[in-house]
Chains A and B, each alone.
Chain A
């Protein structure tokens, strides 16, 4: 699918007054935000604050009921053809990795390019091996996900998302399911990625990562965007914050 080309100064993701309910529960309340190309945005907030829901709405794993989400010039709420187009432009990394256990690591990575982009196997595999190299585990190419550690699995998952050459990468708490000693290896990969100019939207509890890598940090609470700013100002103790931001940061530190 071709996308409607956008001018460089236009946001690559734009949410306008997005509302979502689970049954009667108001999960996202009038969320409006925009993300520029190549920006790295970290979303923080207590659990249940709607941050995961938001990024799942961006690639329409969840549907929102009001408002518009425009990704790369496409309104994702409109119809299912748009959703498929958006998904191939947006990579996603899950908390539980969600690697396909019946496929080898290399097949996991090449599945998308081959089946969605119709890239030939040889080319896709060459690309896949490069990506594995990039995430630091080329030797695992022909093993199965079940044989890898959590950190390695998450790195494969990142490679799998990158294989589609997405413009945007969404991270849904990528390190939450990992043992402490493995968190670093995943964060290292993400840090490296952030330098490559890809747009990243990261939901995480890793404040260190946010501080170091993020261009902008958003604080979500009770289904709404409460506060945003560069990491320096958002984490700054001496500036005026929204009381809930203060409370959250206080608990954290």
Chain B
């Protein structure tokens, strides 16, 4: 303690035993010796016991064959891979959950934090109930709910949920005109300050709809066939695959070039603008330029050198046949399809087979449950932090912002949130830390994250102590990274505000 620093040295007649500095040094030394001896004694005992069991701790075993499979592991991992590879799979999985979880939790947290302060009683109450339920029940229980109740209640493969719903739909032609008509009427009403234009149009449209429903007016329909893009079933969520073709890299180069050009142009325009004071829509020009390059190069690349034949395997010999014929006869492998597609990228819609999807990337229910559980749980805490942060901004700030004519969204974005951020950042960093650490609960839903994989490694190899050391150090590194980042942000915010 600061209080203990009453130095009396230098006074005559004081023995060395009364010298505060000496006493401090001695007591520290004793403390350090005690701690070191304690830790050393434990370590030595553990080592001896392990040696007796023929399990001297080392890390060499990590380079040997792991011999176990990991569900939903990337292709490069097999049971022949090393323990290090398994560890890496776990580490990557943890990062996947944490990174996306942080994003989702922040988004949801900010929204619910704002909802908590809504002037609308119902919204406010719903948000409050959401936050309180989530904050006051254990994450583990919530994870069980997400996994066993939500994810595992999804239907079996044959009855997969689909989005958008599959089927043929008849859309009345008249519906296509409603929105444009309303928009035009709204614009006209705004320009002429005559609201009845809008009301009249709306009334007219309602009349048309009613008459059509009563079959007084004839109904023309457009037939639209909808095929699903997303599926959900008990085995997971199936998304369309995005494939890149041979033209992807050239296109990417064009996009990058377009970006550079757009930035250079924007900088030039800004200089001209600052020098002459002329009003030039910088952002619009730069963005337009960039988009033109991006879309233009896509189309140009899609038309250059398009092949019209493809080599396929027919009865053991390779023959060249027209693409249209190959497509009709379904002779193409997915890789070949990617090769002959003229566009730089293509979206491959999931294809149903008899018992499982033949195409489409699957997100496992374990990953989904963990991700949702973690981010929803954390979002409740973030919502409270955001609420407290916003409430810490004096109301006068809002009034001042409104008095210079800023609208609601800009008041929030330009005035309230930046100031709230200064209050929010430190506890938010803590929540990010918690999310990262809580991701270790993946073991409860059998998701192969860092901790789950390491326990498997420990069980398989018997090397529990090195495994534990490894996993703790890894979490420590993740935690330190997050808190360092939060600290840097915090310091920058403080600098800005002095």
> What residues of chain A have their CB less than 8 Å away from a CB belonging to chain B?
59, 61, 84, 87-88, 90-92, 94, 96, 98-102, 111-112, 115-116, 120, 122-123, 126, 144, 146-147, 157, 160-161, 163-164
Contact = CB atoms under 8 A, between A and B. Distances in A.
A115 B397 contact: no
Interface string B401-419: 1111111001000110011
Given A100-B415, A115-B410, A123-B277, A147 B403 contact: no
Interface of B: 273-274, 277, 279, 394, 396-397, 399-407, 410, 414-415, 418-419, 422, 496-498
B444 to A, nearest CB: 42
B405 A98 contact: no
A115 B399 contact: no
B400 A101 contact: no
A164 B277 CA distance: 18
Given A59-B403, A102-B422, A102-B496, 7 more contacts: A87-B403, A94-B396, A98-B400, A100-B397, A100-B415, A112-B406, A163-B404
Given A100-B400, A102-B422, A120-B273, A144 B405 contact: no
B400 A99 contact: yes
Contact of A120 (B279, B396, B406): B279
A98 B404 contact: no
Contacts of B498: 144, 146-147
B399 A98 contact: yes
Q: Considering residues B405, B407, B422, B498, which has the most beta carbons from chain A within 10 angstroms of its beta carbon?
A: B405
Nearest to A62: B399
Nearest to A126: B277
Contacts of B497: 101-102, 144, 146
Contacts of A126: 277
Contacts of B274: 122
B399 A94 contact: yes
A122 B273 contact: yes
25 contacts: A61-B399, A61-B402, A84-B407, A87-B405, A88-B405, A91-B403, A91-B404, A92-B403, A94-B396, A94-B400, A96-B394, A96-B396, A100-B397, A101-B497, A102-B418, A102-B419, A102-B422, A111-B414, A112-B404, A115-B410, A116-B404, A116-B406, A120-B273, A147-B498, A157-B400
A61 B279 CA distance: 33
Given A102-B496, A122-B273, A146-B497, A112 B399 contact: no
Nearest to B413: A115
A98 B396 contact: yes
A110 to B, nearest CB: 11
Contacts of B279: 120, 123
A59 B397 CA distance: 15
Contact of B401 (A90, A100, A163): A100
Q: Considering residues A87, A99, A163, which has the most beta carbons from chain B within 10 angstroms of its beta carbon?
A: A87
Contacts of B422: 102
Nearest to B410: A115
Contact of B404 (A102, A111, A147): A111
A116 B405 contact: yes
B411 to A, nearest CB: 10
A96 B398 CA distance: 13
A87 B419 contact: no
Contact of B405 (A102, A122, A147, A164): A164
Nearest to A164: B404
Contacts of B405: 84, 87-88, 112, 116, 164
Nearest to B496: A102
